[in-house]
Chain A
Amino acid sequence: MENDRVTESGGDESGYLAERGWRSWAFTLDHKRIGVMYLLTTIVFFLLGGLFAMLLRLELLTPQTKYFSAHAYNVFFTLHGAMMIFLFIIPAIPSGLGNFFIPLHIGARDVAFPRLNLASYWVFVAGFLVVLASLVAPMDTGWTFYTPYSAKTGAAVATLSFGIFLIGMSSILTGLNFIVTVHKLRAPGMTWHRMPLFVWGMYATSIIQVVATPVVGVTFLLLAMERLLGMAFFDPAKGGDPVLFQHFFWFYSHPVVYVMILPAMGIVSEVIPVFSRKPIFGYKAIAYSSLAIAFIGFLVWGHHMFTSAMSPLANAIFSFLTFFVAVPTAVKVFNWIATLYRGSITFESPMLYALTFIFLFIIGGLTGPFLAALSTNVQLHDTYFVVAHFHYTMMGGTVMGFFAGLHYWFPKMTGRMPGEKLARAAWALIFVGFNVTFFTMFIVGVRGMPRRYAEYLPKFHQENVIATIGSFLLAAGVLLLFWNLWHSLRKGARASGNPWRALSLEWRTPSPPATENFHEIPEVTDWPYGYGKPKRTPA
């Protein structure tokens, strides 16, 4: 768009959005613009991944394959899983909302390394393009790429692994950038214990990204070397070990589920106090439990492998440690609920999604012990029970947290309010559709239906029909949600600097913020949750 349009519209567009033209975006060093680019990109991947989910559900309407071939189904669940994980849920909150709000939250003008930040965005896009190139021979391995299947299949495994390698690199760079930013760029008076909990969650996340992601990079490199150069790491015929791959893979991918959930927990910790106008309950417990989860998360990867013939002792140790991730997680849930106690609660869309996060995450969390306990794990592993469990935590948890964050920060990012009526209608569809879809999967999983099945026995038919109906409601809700935000972007009511009357620093700048965030770096004298009276920092 032309540059002069802006001035004509009489200050219509202001702040960091004022400059127009694609160059002002593609080469920007502003963390807010980079955050917005990440958000838009990852939302596109979310919708694409969702489209594949709908194709899966469509096919599962009938026991026999009907609309697609079995191979096509296998490609769809691989693309659905891989896109949702690597292209949406890992980057969306950290790189999107994190980029935008960490500097604002700690009172900085930008992240520590703005150029690196831009570079990691473009590395991410390059990774996506490589992933796209792999579609010449689409992957049918599942997002877990287990060897030896992944070493044998005719698909473009090496290409896809390289794409994911790049995406992982972008994730490491972002994590590094955030760690340094949090250490070095906090505003005067912003002590560690005055940092918003979103920043704490992001800090713990960044540590995991920096420590764990190189492992998956190396794993995919080894896999590519095995395929391209015939080297034997995982092929038993040549003396390799196929289970070794699983150890490598889960050593990364287990901690990464916390990369997916911790940022969302951070968002919920921001939203709950604002809309109950109460100080957060147990600030330090929430902050440190993020670190505890990040740490314990590194020790439990073996719980994905209880049926891979590890020693019974190893199984027992992994099972024991797994249960201990539950404790800091439970503490957070209790703290959020306690924050509501004697609050003055309102139910605008961010709060609705945050409460939905807690509701669904409790179900995801309480179904975890079935999978952590050895004997029931062996029963349920690789069945639809697992599919239900991780959708409750990842979609019911993280995605709801993401939606809460999108609505909460929408006024800050765009200068407009999200439309409430449609936001609530979308919420209702999502809530009902979600539970119909995924609760049903617990049942069919307990009855023994394995996951990744293009065809299933007729006795599972009824559940699958119900789940598919639910998924269409859910999809309608998600489309309505994004349509509403899109509409609000252009027609929404103007937002003031602080429409929710929150206390954290990002609300002390105009909406949308100016390019360098603050006209004057604020001096911080209190923690961000001083609702009620009298004001004070927590003991």
Chain B
Amino acid sequence: MAEGLAFGAASEQAARVDGVFVMIAVIGGFFFFLTQGLLIWFAVKYRRRRPDRDNETPQITGNHLLEFFWVLIPSIVVVAIFYYGWRVYADLSGPPEAATEVHVNGRQWLYEVRYPDGRTAVNEIRVPAGKTVKFLLSASDVIHGFSLPDFRVKMDMIPGRITTLTLHPERPGRFQIYCTVYCGTQHSNMLAELIVMAPEEYARWEAGEREGPAGAVEPPAARGERLAKSAGCLNCHAVEGPAKIGPNLKGLFGSKRPLEGAAEAVADEEYLRESIVDPGAKIARGYPNVMPTFKTTLTPEDVSALVEWLKKLK
């Protein structure tokens, strides 16, 4: 039941949140049927049947006992719901033992990932199943949200602070990450994936990360294309169709580029490389200077692969 109404919980933690959800739904459901039932029943039963008989209603202005109970009972019910809602929350945010730490930085409009050993990635976080992960979250421009609905958790990414989120993924799979705090034009494309891998597979990946998928040698342009998707380039740059936030990439290589001010530049390899690692250096005319640098998140080989791909986009 991965895609039903309450789609599958991806961890035991998530299942506990679902427990609170179901409890509230059951209590709420009871009061729903009680109140709506009485509302509709009274409205039908006591509708005026004879137009001339309208004032013969009883003078009921209150009933202290009844009113006492309907203050008392909801009070007890809400305290109970509060308690379980808080308990589960407190358990889940307690300090986890021996957690792997992954640093995730949000920026308009992608996630930069850094592992403790210095490896980096964009929009893709890999973790082994069965181990607690602690995300250290930060943001470099505006507030973003880091939300993992399959795990029923989210935490804001706030500039100038480190916030944390812990997770205990149990089964391998790919899980959607959304940005949930409105962060500007491409907010709804600020997506990423959490890839939970079986521990052995994770170890293999960790060792051979640089060789690309399946360890095979990937042609640079293909690798560039894959990176363009996963690194978030295509969130802001179109290849087909009208331009998005940034210039269209098709036919870019070799063309003359009008820059801010009166300058111009030819889009050669060096221009392309510089645009990726130092986007503020030359700003294409008519576009806002909003592109983040990929200096720290992409290796020089990644950048060359991207340049190869761009050269092929005729």
Chain A residues at the B interface, C-beta cutoff of 8 Å: 70-71, 74, 140-142, 146, 148-149, 152-154, 236-237, 241-243, 276-285, 307-309, 312, 315-316, 319-320, 323-324, 326-327, 330-331, 333-334, 337-338, 340-347, 355, 358-359, 362-363, 366-367, 369-370, 372-379, 381-383, 443, 446-448, 450-457, 459, 529, 531-534, 536, 538-539
Contact = CB atoms under 8 A, between A and B. Distances in A.
Contact of A376 (B20, B90, B179, B184): B20
Interface in B66-82: 66-67, 70-71, 74-75, 78-79, 81-82
A539 to B, nearest CB: 7
B62 A532 contact: no
A162 B186 CA distance: 27
B82 A372 contact: yes
B155 A326 contact: no
Contacts of B47: 345-347
Contact of A366 (B32, B54, B158): B32
Given A285-B67, A323-B79, A342-B58, A142 B182 contact: yes
Interface string B172-185: 00001011111111
Nearest to B244: A70
B103 interface: no
Contacts of B293: none
Interface of B: 3, 5-7, 16-17, 20-21, 24-25, 27-28, 31-32, 35-36, 38-39, 42-43, 46-48, 53-63, 66-67, 70-71, 74-75, 78-79, 81-82, 84-86, 88-90, 92-93, 141-143, 145, 147, 149-150, 152-156, 158-161, 163, 176, 178-189, 191, 244, 288
B61 A279 contact: yes
Contacts of A236: 158-161
B82 A344 contact: no
A283 B61 contact: yes
A374 B81 contact: no
A453 B32 contact: no
A319 B42 contact: no
Contacts of B156: 307-309
A289 to B, nearest CB: 10
Contact of A307 (B59, B88, B145, B176): B145
A242 B189 CA distance: 23
Contacts of B90: 312, 316, 374
Given A71-B185, A319-B85, A276 B149 contact: no
A278 B32 contact: no
Contacts of A278: 57-58, 60
B182 A277 contact: no
A373 B159 contact: no
Contact of B143 (A148, A372, A446): A148
A365 B8 CA distance: 27
Contact of B182 (A141, A327, A340): A141
Nearest to B159: A236
B232 to A, nearest CB: 14
A323 B78 CA distance: 6
B284 to A, nearest CB: 17
Contacts of A538: 61-62
Contacts of B82: 319-320, 323, 372-373
Given A359-B39, A375-B85, A533-B59, A344 B188 contact: no
Contacts of A276: 46, 57
Nearest to B146: A307
Contact of B7 (A70, A153, A377, A447): A447
A152 B42 contact: no
A70 B56 CA distance: 61
A341 B67 CA distance: 15
A363 B29 CA distance: 10
Contacts of A366: 28, 31-32
Contacts of B184: 74, 140, 149, 153
Given A149-B143, A362-B32, A362-B36, 10 more contacts: A280-B61, A282-B61, A323-B81, A342-B58, A344-B54, A366-B32, A379-B17, A447-B5, A448-B147, A529-B61
Contacts of B53: 344
A331 B64 CA distance: 12
Among B48, B88, B182, the one with the most A-chain Cβ atoms within 10 Å of its Cβ is B182
Nearest to B25: A370
Given A154-B288, A281-B62, A378-B153, A149 B89 contact: no
Contacts of A331: 67, 70-71, 74
14 contacts: A74-B184, A141-B182, A243-B158, A278-B57, A281-B60, A324-B78, A369-B24, A369-B27, A370-B28, A373-B86, A443-B5, A450-B180, A531-B55, A538-B61
Contacts of A367: 28
Contacts of A152: 141-142
A359 B35 CA distance: 9
Contacts of B56: 344, 532-533
Given A323-B81, A366-B28, A538-B62, A340 B55 contact: no
A337 B39 contact: yes
A529 B57 CA distance: 12
A333 B142 CA distance: 41
Contacts of B84: 373
A374 B86 contact: yes
B108 to A, nearest CB: 9
Given A327-B74, A346-B48, A379 B187 contact: no
A392 to B, nearest CB: 12
Nearest to B61: A538
A434 B43 CA distance: 21
Nearest to B92: A375
Contacts of B185: 70-71, 74, 140
B197 to A, nearest CB: 22
A532 B188 contact: no
A315 B90 CA distance: 10
A355 B39 contact: yes
A459 B36 contact: no
A273 B81 CA distance: 33
Contact of B149 (A280, A372, A447, A451): A447
Contacts of A377: 85
Given A276-B46, A327-B78, A345-B48, A373 B55 contact: no
A194 to B, nearest CB: 13
Top 6 closest A-B pairs, CB basis?
A373-B85, A236-B160, A448-B149, A453-B188, A374-B89, A323-B78
B221 to A, nearest CB: 26
A283 B28 contact: no
A345 B88 contact: no
Given A323-B82, A376-B20, A355 B43 contact: yes
Contacts of A316: 86, 90
B124 to A, nearest CB: 17
Contacts of A283: 61-62
A443 to B, nearest CB: 6
A50 B93 CA distance: 41
B154 A446 contact: no
Contacts of B81: 323, 369, 372-373
B46 A341 contact: yes
Contacts of A379: 17, 21, 149, 152-154
A374 B75 CA distance: 17
A459 to B, nearest CB: 7
A334 B60 CA distance: 14
A307 B143 CA distance: 11
A53 B16 CA distance: 36
A532 B159 contact: no
A337 B63 CA distance: 13
